[in-house]
Amino acid sequence: MNASENPWKTHSSTVVYDNNWLTLRHEDVSTPAGTPGIYGVVSFKNKAVGVVPIDAEGNIYLVGQYRYTLNEYSWEIPEGGCPVGTDPLDSAKRELKEETGLEARRWTSIARIHTSNSATDEEGFIFLAQDLVQGEQEPEDTEDLQVRKVPLAEAVRMVMASEITDAISMTAILMVSRTLGV
């Protein structure tokens, strides 16, 4: 079989939950071995975007917030949703402004990622934002955010010490560090 051919067969797909952000489907399948199986698939209604804003001194800006699903506080890069059909860069610019008040004059696309491909179809886009200009934060009603400026090397240390555990943030920080040679 060709590596790009799908060895799974879907026999039925039923939506078991749906809201403004995601859909959960139960699917009856045949596995690659030909045996019967089930799959639960979470489909997101937005793409994910993450931004590593870095200033001229090599500091990045992290956003801290309490994550309901984890029941714990989380330090992350600025990130959020990109409605399907919308340019991820436009959404990244919006999220950076909302969460930090920052705007950037220079943008670089760093990566396209899948955040948890064993159970979701979520696709993410990571950007590096440079030549920063500080403005006012514009957080959404559901966000109670703290902004923290740290050297990129400190953010890498935080990733390696599991002080930053968000997958998009970890990927973004390590990729930007590698890209910039820090």
Question: Which 3 state secondary structure label does DSSP give 68?
Answer: coil
Tens place of pLDDT per residue across the chain (182 aa):
577 889 999 999 999 999 999 999 999 999 999 999 999 999 999 999 999 999 999 999 999 999 998 999 999 999 999 998 999 999 999 999 999 999 999 999 999 999 888 999 999 999 999 999 998 877 667 768 899 999 999 999 999 999 999 999 999 999 999 999 87
Q: Note the pTM of the prediction, 2 decimals.
A: 0.89
Which CATH code, of 1.10.300.10, 3.40.50.450, 3.90.79.10, 3.90.226.10, is assigned to 46-180?
A: 3.90.79.10
Give the long-range contacts of residues 106-109, CB within 8 A, separation 24 or more.
Answer: 106/130, 106/131
What pLDDT is attached to residue 3?
76
Q: In sequence order, which residues have a C-beta less than 8 Å from that of residue 62 and are 6 or more positions away?
A: 75, 76, 77, 147, 148, 149, 150, 155, 164, 169
The H-or-E segment that residue 84 falls in is none
Predicted local confidence at residue 136, as pLDDT: 82
Beginning with the edge strand found earlier in the chain, give each strand of the sheet holding 22-30 in spatial order: 9-18, 22-30, 36-44
Q: What is the largest CA-CA distance in the chain?
A: 57
Count of other CB atoms within 10 angstroms of residue 174: 14
- Cα separation, 92 vs 125, in Å, equals 9
Task: Report the alpha-carbon distance of residue 59 to residue 133 in Å, rounded.
Answer: 14
The answer to whether 39 and 6 have CB atoms below 8 angstroms apart is no
Res 27: pLDDT:
95
